Every structure is written in C-alpha cells, then in structure tokens.
Amino acid sequence: MNKRYLGAVLLSPMLIFLFIGGVYLKYFTLILSLIGMHEFYTTVKQKNINPLKYIGYMLCIIYYILLSNTIKFDIILLLIIAGVFIMLCIPIINVKYNFIDLSITIFGFLYIGVFFSFIVLINQKSYGNYLIWLVFISSWLCDTAAYYVGKYLGMNKLCPRVSPKKTIEGSIGGLFGSIIGCTLFGMIITKLGVNIHYYNYILIGILCGIFSQFGDLSASSIKRYVNVKDYSNLIPGHGGILDRFDSILFTSVVVYYYITFVMGI
C-alpha cells in the first residue's frame, strides 16, 4: 500500500472525533498538541537548543483542562508568566539551560498547544459542528490543489529559500481550491439549516487559502533552519503531526477569529 494512503488511514480517527466533538475532541486535540510539541522540541535540539519540554507539556495540559467555550487570554497570560517565572530559576541551578531554551519552550506551547486549541473552540460555538469542517476542507483542498497545479503547471518558484518545490502557480491553485471547497461546503450546510450567508464562506476560503500556505511555509522554515526533512516519521508518507497539521494550525486561528469578530458567533 502506498505510504501516503496508509498514513491517511492512520489519520482517519480524527474524523470520528470531529463528528463526536465535545470533551472527546478536546482531549484528542490535547494528545495531538502534546505529540506536536514533542516533535518540535525534539527537532530544535538539532541546533543545540534544550527546551524545558516537561514544563511545556505541563503548561499545555493545564491550559486544556481550563479551556472552556471561549479563549481566555488571562489564563494564557497567567500560564506564560508562571512558566517563565519558574524557568528563569532553572538556568541558575543548571547552566545547561539558557534564555533561548526558555523562549523556545514558551513558543512551542503557544504555536502548537494554543493554536491547536482553536479547533476545540470552534467546535463549541453555535453551528460549530458544521463550521469546524471549514478548517480542514480549506487546508486539505488548498494543499491538494497546490500540489497538482504546481506539479503540472508550476514554472515560477514561490519561496525557493524556504520550500524549493512550491510554485506561484501552485499557490494560486491552492487558493482557488480553498475558495471552491469552502463555498461548496457552505452551500451544502445552508440547506441543512445553517443560516449563514454564502459570502462568508467565500471570504473564509480566501483567508484560509492564503494563511494555510503561510502555515505550511512557517513549518518549513523551522525545518530548514534545523536542517531536517520531517518533524518525525510517525505518519507514513506524511511525516509527523506537525508536517500534516502545519497549515491546519493557521486555518483554525483564521476560522475562529472570522466567525467570532466578523460573523459575531
């Protein structure tokens, strides 16, 4: 069996948790966050960075336990302050660690743990069981369209220093893939009783089509800096959790803030 198809099979339980939602999705997302953080903390060690990973994991677990139906920035701030306070004491006790290690620890928690949590927060909103699919539809269709358009029509490099294989043509194809996917999905769920105007799905498709690619390239820039191909080999043909969910981390943030501040849900 092709490794990418095998990897897709291994990822299929995610769909089950998306359908179930609630506390099951919350703690499944926590598990994904912890695995992703582990991949990140392991990867940066290639540059002799020593994140205090167990403190990062603890911050993530506490954050998810306290996570409710809205993101509470006071909790995040409290966790960051507490984490930094504790970690600043550690280099005094053990000179193996320094302020860069501390910064990367907090960054991993925010970039992976908090960004992943927007999946849970979207699911808990009105129509959330429908709107959560916009995160994945936009990301997956953008990625798929960008790959095939780039493969057959790509001529001009997009960001050769970050990701040499990506092309401008593929990027445009990915944008249209996201727009079309979100719009068609919006038309379907409107018939199922979701009272949201079509133009919102078009705008979400545009924003996610753009920032999905930024999410992909951001993860690639980290890998290029530490000189690794994949974050791990956990998922055959796909790499690690961060390799598969890098764009989803960004689209989840985009969808959450759009439906919160633009749509007022």
Overall domain count for the chain: 1
Residues facing 203 on adjacent strands: none
* Gap between the terminal Cα atoms of the chain: 43
Close Cβ partners of 193 (under 8 Å, ≥ 6 residues apart): none
pLDDT at 11: 65
pLDDT at position 1 is 46
Query: CA 260, CA 262: separation in Å to the nearest integer?
Result: 6
- Residue 68's CB is within 10 A of a number of other CB atoms, namely 10
If DSSP codes are grouped into helix, strand and coil, which group holds residue 11?
A: helix
Q: Which two tokens stand for residue 249?
A: 């981390």
130 Cβ contact list (under 8 Å, min separation 6)? 189, 192, 194
pTM across the whole model: 0.91
The two structure tokens encoding residue 147: 């790959």
At residue 108, the pLDDT reads 97
Count the alpha carbons within 13 Å of 222 in the hemisphere toward its beta carbon. Answer: 22
* C-alpha to C-alpha distance for 19 and 123, rounded to whole angstroms: 10
Query: Which range marks the domain in which residue 84 is found?
Result: 3-262
Give, in degrees to the nearest 5, the angle at Cα 146 between 145 and 152.
90
- Residue 70: what pLDDT? 74
DSSP secondary structure letters along 188-247: HHHHTT----HHHHHHHHHHHHHHHHHHHHHHHHHHHHHT-S-S-SSBTTTBSHHHHHHH
Long-range interactions of 253-256: CB distance < 8 A, separation 24+: 253/115, 253/118, 253/211, 254/204, 254/207, 254/208, 254/211, 255/118, 255/122, 255/131, 255/134, 255/135, 255/138, 255/204, 255/208, 256/71, 256/118, 256/121, 256/122
Looking at this protein, which amino acid is placed at residue 125?
K
Q: What is the pLDDT along the chain (265 residues), one digit of tens a residue?
A: 445 555 556 566 778 888 888 899 999 999 999 999 999 999 999 999 999 999 999 999 999 999 987 777 888 889 999 999 999 999 999 999 999 999 999 999 999 999 999 999 999 999 999 999 999 999 999 999 999 999 999 889 998 888 888 999 999 999 999 999 999 999 999 999 999 999 999 999 999 999 999 999 999 999 999 999 889 888 776 788 999 899 999 999 999 999 999 999 8
